[in-house]
Structure formats: structure tokens, C-alpha cells
Amino acid sequence: MAAVSRGGPPGCRIGFVGTGGVATRHAQILSGFDDVSLVAATDVDDRRAAEFADRFGMAAVDGVDGLLGVGVDAVYVCVPPFAHGEAELQVARAGVALFVEKPLAADLETAEAMGAQLTRAGVLTRVGHHWRCAEPVARARDLLAGRRVHLVTGAWWDKVPPVSWWPHRSRSGGPVVEQAIHLLDLARVLVGEVDEVHAGATGPHPDQTTSGDVDTATVALLRFAGGAVGTLTAASVLGWKHRAGLEIVADGLVVGVGEDWLEVYDGAGEPQRGAYDRWTACVAADRAFVDALCGRPVDPDRSPPDHAEALRSHRLATAVARSAAMGTPERV
């Protein structure tokens, strides 16, 4: 592993824990920012860390100690759900800011324990719910402002993502915690808090039980504090991503919204449909984090949430997973 010292190019010095798919996305975006220097990366897989570091001109270092040793202003934690906890706490204890990929953990206990300690540490945190930064979400928020919402349907119908940890409940948390949590986070943003959930699930695919134990399909009834009702459906059995988003029925308006699409119908003329670039939302999320890190003003409606706020979505997602496993309603 390389030894690096503080110095070199100006800007916020950023390091990475975990150098897989989503870390690569963040590094591609951040390397285009002229107020950021990517300085070091670590991964339990040394070869991966070395390739990533080489590609983005960083040093590959040993663990969080290595990152802190070279001097960083912020660390992106891009590990799989089961691997969260220690890295965040070590970074926070050093007073360094964190961008943590969702979900916060595979379970609720780890996320709660981390939340309490991060609050005590008082460091800047942001979590990768970048849908909040997407243009269709901003437009949906404006369209729904002042209208009563009655019904929300969320659908995430997709393939099994091609990472080895995903089909294992103890490692990923399952499809709702790992993936459909984007929909739950969005529902909270656009409709409000959910009080109670009641879910059911299929169990694992009968032909794929040797490769994992996550549910193939889940359905949940959601009761919102504001009076609306909703459903969440998740299926990870297709060979393609079919749909990921919400449909919201409000007084005089139906809005369909996802990370990169918007459909609006108010009964006058044809429905309006728009497709958006999802990369733009990913860039906006990293931009908002770096601006907050540099002490610049950030529009809170166009920012990824902090850890405490993301924890509310995590509580909701884990309540759905618990309800699906137990077959009983769960208060959130």
C-alpha cells in the first residue's frame, strides 16, 4: 500500500471505503469537480482497491486508518449493507464528514446504533438517496403542493442485481431494504410519514433457493399519518428493470414519478410524460454534499438526506421486511 502525505492539489480531500460499482459512479462524478481531490481508497479486496485507485489517480491504503493517515475531509462509504458500522464510526470519531451509501445497514439495530453515535460525533453526513435531487421529483413536489394525497402505489420490478451479496437476506437486508427503500424514501418526501405497514412476501424463488434466501416478490399496505393509503410492490425475478417509481393520486391530479421519469395527468388533454437523465440526479447529490462540506448554501429540497433523516426511511423499510417475515402489521 502506498504511503501518502497531506498536500498536493487543492480542494476537498475525499477518500473511499469500498471500491465497487457505486463507488466508481461517485468517483467518476467527483473527479469532474474542480473543488475536489480524490486522495485515497480502501477495500477488503486489495486488488479492487488498487485498480480503483489507479483508475482515479488515488492511493490504495490499508483500512480507515490508512485514509485518516493521509488526511481526508470526507469519506464515501460504499460498502454492501452488511458491512456498515465500523468504518463510519471510525471516520466520525476522527471528526471527518461522511457520505454513506444506502441502505444504512442490512438490519435496523446496526443503523440505529450508528445513528446515535454519529449524532453524538456531530459530523456532516449525507446518504445516497439521490432521487431527492432528481428533477422529476422536484416537479412532482411542486405539483402536489397544497393538494391532499389519497393513494400511493409504489412498484420496483427488476432483476436480481449482479453482486454476490444481494440474494442473501443477512447481507443485503432483502429487496425492500436494499432497493425499494428508494420508493419509501420518496413516498416520505412527497406524501409524508407512514405510521403502519402490513406486508406479505413469496419467499425465495423455488428454482433459486441454492443461490439465496431473499423474497422474490413482496407487497405491503402502507398507512400514512396524513390519512392516505398506499401499496408497495417489489419483484426481483425479471431479466430487466421494468419499473421503479410511485404513482400518486391526489385531488384532481395523478402524478407518476421515478428517478428519471414523470407522468402527470389532471384530466385536461393528454397525460404529460417526460424522461430525464438519471446521471444528472447522481451529480446533483454529490454536488450538494461537496457544497455542504465547503460551507456553501444548499437547497434542502435538492440535497440527499443526512443520516438521521435516512434512518427514518430505514426504519420504514425494515418494518416492511419484518412485517413480510412475520405476517403481522408493524407500527413504524
Ligand X SMILES: NC(=O)c1ccc[n+]([C@@H]2O[C@H](COP(=O)([O-])OP(=O)(O)OC[C@H]3O[C@@H](n4cnc5c(N)ncnc54)[C@H](O)[C@@H]3O)[C@@H](O)[C@H]2O)c1
Binding site for ligand X (CB under 6 A): 17-23, 42-45, 48, 78-81, 83, 87, 101-103, 128, 130, 163, 178
* Residue 43 exposed, middle or buried by CB count within 10 Å (0-12, 13-18, 19+): buried
Residues 22, 282 contacting (CB under 8 angstroms): no
Of 18 and 230, CB closest to ligand X? 18
Q: Do β-strands 253-257 and 243-250 pair in parallel, antiparallel, or remain unpaired? A: antiparallel
**Residue that is written with C-alpha cell 451529480 in the block:** 283
Rounded to the nearest whole angstrom, what is the least distance from the CB of residue 227 to ligand X in the complex?
Answer: 30
Cα separation, 85 vs 281, in Å, equals 26
Question: Least distance to ligand X from the beta carbon of 181, Å?
Answer: 8
To ligand X, the closest distance from the beta carbon of 80 in angstroms equals 5
Name the minimum Å distance from CB 103 to ligand X. Answer: 6
Residue 39 vs 228, nearer CB to ligand X: 39
Q: How far is the CB of 38 from ligand X (least distance, A)?
A: 16
CB 14 within 8 A of CB 38: yes
Q: Which is nearer to ligand X, 83 or 249 (CB)?
A: 83
Nearer to ligand X among residue 14 and residue 228 (C-beta):
14
Q: Give the nearer residue to ligand X in terms of CB position, either 163 or 254.
A: 163
DSSP 61-80: -SHHHHHHHH--SEEEE---
Smallest distance from ligand X to CB 132, Å = 11
Cell of 215: 423474497
Of 180, 247, 190, 174, nearest to 224 by C-alpha is 190
Which of 149, 169 has the CB closer to ligand X? 169
Measured from each CB, the residue nearest to ligand X is 20
In sequence order, what E strands does 189-307 have? 194-201, 217-224, 229-236, 243-250, 253-257, 261-265, 272-275
